[in-house]
Amino acid sequence: MRQIVLDTETTGLEWKKGNRVVEIGCVELLERRPSGNNFHRYLKPDCQFEAGAQEVTGLSLEFLADKPRFEEVVDEFLAYVDGAELIIHNAAFDMGFLENEMALLGRGPLAGRVRVTDTLAMARERFPGQRNSLDALCKRLGVDNSHRHLHGGLLDAQILADVYIALTSGQEEIGFGLPESEVMGAAGAVQAFDAAVLLPRPRVVATASELQAHQARLERLRKKAGHAWWDGARPEEVAGA
């Protein structure tokens, strides 16, 4: 299944209060790697920003005035995400807004077309009782977000893609479980190990002088301890002697 990391920016925190989507950013992952096939649109909301929302996103109604409305990009958006797994941080928020946009157009639910994975729920399960915001996860998982000065749909989707990979990383990241034992080579090309061309393992043999020194050390230990378990005696037999 295709994976699409998705983030939206909105005019406020609640679609029930009439807030709308002003930006959609999507990053496609194929076999857990960004494909470069991204989807990014700014949208004209036909409503005002709530207090604080404009400062968070850095967007303005003036900037969005000549951008398309959701109804103008909905078919393109649905064609892009159809059948994919959407990876979203705090999925209830983004899906609530997107489902509202669909309902306003009389379109069927988006949830019927996609599968949704919530990285916030994943993070809370893995790090219970800790802060699990996107910034907090970046710090905890070593993801660089130093360029994130404002919230942005595509930027946040790109950062979330790195967070998701780090959050779910395991043996598959170093090649285990891939078909035909394929792993990534140093240059990025896919390589497969061929057991027939592997060099034989070297056989290390102790020299006569090394064996003599080893036996002498064992004898010193035997005299000091009064017994030696490597001679076959069990601890309880020695204690009862």
Q: Which residues are catalytic?
A: 151
Hey, what are 94's tokens?
């983004």
- How many beta carbons lie within 10 A of that of residue 13, not counting itself? 13
Cα gap 190→186, rounded to integer Å: 9
DSSP 11: S
Cα gap 101→46, rounded to integer Å: 12
Hey, what are 130's tokens?
């800790």
Cα gap 126→190, rounded to integer Å: 31
Q: Which residues pair with 117 in a beta bridge?
A: 87
Q: Of 214, 129, 156, which is closest to residue 24 (Cα–Cα)?
A: 156
Q: Which residues pair with 27 in a beta bridge?
A: 5
